[in-house]
Structure 1
Amino acid sequence: MTLYTQWTTMALMFSSGLLLGVILDTYRVLKARFRLRGWVVSLIDLLYWTVSAGLVFSLLMWSNWGQLRFYIFVAVCMGFFLYYHWVSKQMIRLIQLIIKVIEKLVHWTLLALRALIWIPLVTLWAFLENMFQFLFKILLILAKAFLKCLAPLEWIARPFKKYIQKGTGPFIQKFHQICRRWKTWLFKNREKGE
């Protein structure tokens, strides 16, 4: 192994120690923020160490074809401990700030979606429902007025009444049932809205 390869490996292992510290601090901040407990913590710990080992050994394979030397472990540990000694507190503050900014962005995005999409849709639905109820009432009033206008002509239809009732009776009953259901549904929904 050449001297250049050794120094490259040393620098990469030192950097991977720093990166392991950053990842561990991020995990610690997220664990405290979301109050993770129990088996989730164990699962994430296992994931952290698997990713860390994969990162270190992939860098080692890239730099010197996976040749292990004692100084490689020293470089990783030195990077990790120097990170914790000098950078950890500032990095934790930065991670907490980033999390707060992301939470604020999500909060404001949800508020904007509610104001721009949800509230107009609910308002439109209420308007259409009220309009439908209004039109239904007008149709009922017009139908009653029309039937009152036809009431004097009932004597003309008296001889045919028996035949008309036999032929149209089931249809009229079905129509009345549908009208009753619609009326109860509309007024029930209106009472819920109020």
Structure 2
Amino acid sequence: MSHLSLYSQWMTLFFMTVSGATLGVVYDSYRVVAHQLRFPRWSLPLFDVVYWLAATWFVFQMLVKGNQGELRFYIFLGLAIGAYAYYLLLSKATVSIATWIVQAAKAVVTFLLRTLYVVIIVPIKTLGLFLLAIARFVLRIAIFLGKLVLKCTQPLWWLVRWLFAPLVVPLWNRWGMTERVVRWWTGLLRRIQAVSDGYKRVKNQWRVLLNKIWKWIRPTK
């Protein structure tokens, strides 16, 4: 029985030593990720709390496997030995490896985003600019033709206005058409302005989002 008890104690010490080293690996990796991905400062205390809760649960699980969850002095000794040995032997290597992994992942994400931009965004943007140029060209032609038609038919309009003005003007004034036209035109201008403002807001928000993504994925010096 004493041999089994001694074996159990040594196994518990071993598990606690491994736990201390594991917690060191996880903590260094977490710090590297937080630094490389530029976590907001206000979020770091929250992640620290999550880390320590997870660490407590992990140590308890290891303790249950070692000696059914009984607390002994050598448990804390094993944790301290594992953490200190990790700090002396593996901490720098872990930080370097974690940094390389995060930077490699960021490089892959950057490549995918740039590929997406070149393959999808650029053609859509080019097509949109091309269609916009065509629309502007057609609009200018339509305006030119409209002005030309109005210029050519201006004498006819003068004749029609001279003939029908005595009949149309009283009805126009009675129905308040001037105010209606002004209200309609003002509303149309407001809608156009609202659409323009909405487009500018969406464009600015998209630009801000792209800048945030770029700041998030760019390499950290």
State whether structure 2 residue 196 is matched by structure 1 residue 163: no
- Cα offsets for 1:117-140 (capped at 9, x unmatched): 333333333223322222222222
2:70 to 54, 63, 67: 67
Partner of 1:92: 95
Partner of 1:118: 121
Judge which range, 78-87 or 97-106, deviates more: 78-87
- Cα offsets for 1:129-188 (capped at 9, x unmatched): 32222222222222223334434534752312343455496499559957x959x98xx9
Q: Distance in 2 between matches of 1:125 and 1:59?
A: 60
Q: Distance in 2 between matches of 1:123 and 1:175?
A: 38
Name the CA shift for 1:164/1:150 in 2 (closer, same or farther; >3 Å).
farther
Q: Aligned with 1:18: secondary structure?
A: helix
Q: Distance in 1 between matches of 2:45 and 2:146?
A: 72
Partner of 1:192: none
Q: Distance in 2 between matches of 1:64 and 1:162?
A: 108
RMSD: 4.0
C-alpha deviation, 1:90, in angstroms: 1.9
Partner of 2:105: 102
- Cα offsets for 1:87-118 (capped at 9, x unmatched): 22222221121122122123223322332333
Judge which range, 101-110 or 24-33, deviates more: 24-33
Q: Scaled by the length of structure 2, what TM-score is found? A: 0.61
How many residues align? The count is 184
1:77 to 80, 84, 91: 80
Partner of 2:209: none
**Corresponding letter in the other structure for 2:124:** L
> Sequence identity, in percent?
32
Partner of 2:27: 24
Q: Distance in 2 between matches of 1:142 and 1:38?
A: 62
- Cα offsets for 1:3-55 (capped at 9, x unmatched): 57555534432221121110232244346657889776655544443332232
Name the CA shift for 1:29/1:147 in 2 (closer, same or farther; >3 Å).
closer
Q: Scaled by the length of structure 1, what TM-score is found? A: 0.68
Name the CA shift for 1:102/1:143 in 2 (closer, same or farther; >3 Å).
same
Partner of 1:191: none
Q: Distance in 2 between matches of 1:103 and 1:84?
A: 27
Partner of 2:140: 137
